[in-house]
Structure 1
Amino acid sequence: MAYVTQQNLIDRFGSTELIQLTDRTNMPATTIDATVVAAAISDAENVADSYMAKRYALPLSPVPDVLVPVVANIARYNLYGERAEKESAIYRNYKDAIAWLKDVSSGTVQLEADGVAADQPTSGQVQVSAPERVFTRDSLKGY
């Protein structure tokens, strides 16, 4: 299930930005290349899934609203690529999104995901496995 659509990116960042970032054939840029946008979104969703898989069964259904801007910011950063400067808002939003996903992964942030949380490890007993003893009271008898 998709967390973000091309329309979400247009609504958040504007069609002009997407045209400039994706149109690689027209000079000047005039259209949004849906293939480039889809690849950036797919990569962003895979990053999000890699963090959420630790705590939740995937795919999330329905998609929590709080996840949309997070994945959108990662997709935007993917579209910028090396053009995203370290001091830019794009880079800061990307880093914030990754930090938020780390919080989801660690359990600090809980998603509303209709009870699809993955099984959490439970505390159990420690088990030790070792070979038979070579020297026992009986084998050393008489020494």
Structure 2
Amino acid sequence: MTYCTKQDLIDRFGEQELIQLTDRVNRPASAIDDIVVTRAIGDASALADGYLAKVLSLPLSPVPSVLTKNVCDIARYYLHGKAAEKDSPVARAYAEAVAFLRDVSKGLVQLTEGGETPPAAAGGQVQWKAPGRVFTRDTLKGF
């Protein structure tokens, strides 16, 4: 399942940017290549699934808007590829999106819409039993 669409990318980043990033045939670039966009969205959604599967039952329905935003940022970074500079806004947005997904997987951030929490692992609390104390205040009197 994908968490964003081509239209989400256009709404967030503009049609002209997507044309420049995806049209690898025409010079000058003149059309959005749907295959390239679909691949980037699929890769970004797969990355998100890897983090989310740890704490949520997939697929999510409905998709939380915060997840859509973060997957859009990841897909944009994938579309930029090696052209994304290390300190560029695109790279920063990607790093923040991955950090968000990491926090969700650790349980530090909770998605409020969609999904169900998977059942907890079977078992109970950890139990242990230790032998009685060998050295006590009474047995060490005089030392």
TM-score range, shorter chain: 0.7 to 0.9
Q: How many residues get paired?
A: 127
How far apart are residue 19 of structure 1 and its match?
0.3
Is 1:67 aligned to residue 67 of structure 2?
Answer: yes
Please, what TM-score do these two structures have when normalized by structure 1? 0.83
Question: Residue in 2 aligned with 1:133?
Answer: none
Question: Is residue 55–residue 120 contact of structure 1 (8 Å, CA) maintained in 2?
Answer: no
Please, what TM-score do these two structures have when normalized by structure 2? 0.83
Question: Residue in 1 aligned with 2:89?
Answer: 89
Give aligned-pair identity as a percent.
Answer: 53
Q: Deviations over 1:54-104 (max 9, x none)?
A: 000000011111111100000000000100001100000000000000000
Secondary structure of 2:92's aligned partner: helix
Q: Within 2, Cα distance between the matches of 1:103 and 1:95?
A: 12
Can you give the 5+ residue segments of structure 2 that lack an aligned partner in the other structure? Answer: 129-143
Amino acid at match of 1:44: A
Secondary structure of 1:108's aligned partner: coil
Question: Is residue 51–residue 104 contact of structure 1 (8 Å, CA) maintained in 2?
Answer: yes
Question: Residue in 2 aligned with 1:15?
Answer: 15
Can you give the 5+ residue segments of structure 1 that lack an aligned partner in the other structure? Answer: 128-143
Q: Within 1, Cα distance between the matches of 2:97 and 2:89?
A: 12
